Structure formats: structure tokens, C-alpha cells
Amino acid sequence: MSGRSKSILAAALIAAAPLIASSASAATITGFTGAYDMSNWTISTGGGSVNTSGAPNSIYLVEPNNAVGGATVSVTTTAASTGIFAFDWKVGGSDCGWATSYAIVGGASRGLASNCASGSYNAAVSAGDVIGFSIVTKDGIFGSNTLTISNFSAPQAPKLSAVPLPATGMMLLTGFGAMAGFRRKSKAKA
């Protein structure tokens, strides 16, 4: 392939780059919907419970009140894509100080609170990371605490958008035609 043919091919690829790049777009899912619908989560109650009746807007985890200390209630899934995992949280109940709540990111527990409190949390995640929430009882008596999760958002798997095939096809044909023409011209000179 001659230098001129390479230049034309490079120009055609550069011209097509915006079409190729725009064919995939990442987004964020807000609420427990789509890839993050509650049917896609693993729920472990550890003697407590998980109430999903508020989904897609919120869910709450209730620690057990009749279990030996260390019982864990958790809700986990995998990140659908790379991006930010974020939510608001609130811990309340009759036994504050006797339960610890966690965000689960990449399979690791990251402390939110060990008493009644509230806040917001966000962390970068990669596609396939285990994400979720948990509350762990310390005593299992004197009442239950609740971890409420709301304003949940997480990365959505990229969706391929439609590429205008007629325009792309015409551009490719034009590029190949130009390359064939230059190749014939260079063979004729040789």
C-alpha cells in the first residue's frame, strides 16, 4: 500500500471515529429498577428482614431482635457497568449503638454508622463489582434498628445506539473506491 493510500485510509478512519464513538453511551440507573430491580439482588436476612415494598424508591433492612450478636442482614448485587454507586442512608430504631451498618463495594464492607445517624454515600465501582448494603446486630436484644436506603443510583451497562448505516456505508464505499483508484494509478505508473 502506497503512502498516499495509507493517508486516505487514515483520513477515512478519522472521519468515521465520531460515528463509532457515539455508538455506545453509558448512563446511570436511578432507583431500584432495570439491572438493579430487586429481583436481581441477593437477600440474606440472618434472622432479620428486608422490606422492598418501597422499591423502586427505597428499601430497608431490619436487624434481628432475637439473634445472637453478629447476625447480618444484607442485600447485594453486581455493578452492571463502571461508574458511581450512590445512595442516601438512615439508621434508626430502638437499640441505637448496638448495630453497625455498611455499604458493600467490591465485596468489601465499608462502615456507614454504628449508631442512629444518616448521610449520603458514593463510591466508584467497576463492572462486575459486588455492591450492596448490610446491617449487623451487636446484641440481638432490646429492639431492632433499621437501615433505610433511598435515592439509589448506579451505573447502567452501555447501550449501543443506532448508527446511521446508509451514511456509514456510503463513506466506506467512497473510501474504498478512492483507495482502488489510487492503487490503479500507482500500478499504471510502475
pLDDT tens for residues 13-41? 455 544 444 444 459 999 999 999 999 99
Residues 177 and 150 occupy one common structural domain: no
User: Which one has a higher pLDDT value, 100 or 20?
Assistant: 100
CA distances from 35 to 24, 51, 84, 158 (A): 17, 19, 15, 12
Q: How many domains does the structure of the chain reveal?
A: 2
pTM check: above 0.75: no
**In terms of DSSP bridges, do strands 99-105 and 145-160 run parallel, antiparallel, or are they unpaired?**
unpaired
Residues 130 and 170 occupy one common structural domain: no
Closest among 125, 115, 127, 157 to 27, alpha carbons compared: 157
Residue 183's SS3 state is helix
DSSP class of 182: H
Residues 72 and 152 occupy one common structural domain: yes
Q: What is the domain extent for residue 186?
A: 162-190
15 falls within a domain? no
What ranges make up the beta strands (E) of the chain? 24-30, 42-44, 49-51, 58-62, 72-78, 83-93, 99-105, 108-113, 117-125, 130-137, 145-160
pLDDT attached to residue 85: 96
64 falls within a domain? yes
Distance CA 177, CA 172 (A): 8
Residues 70 and 109 occupy one common structural domain: yes
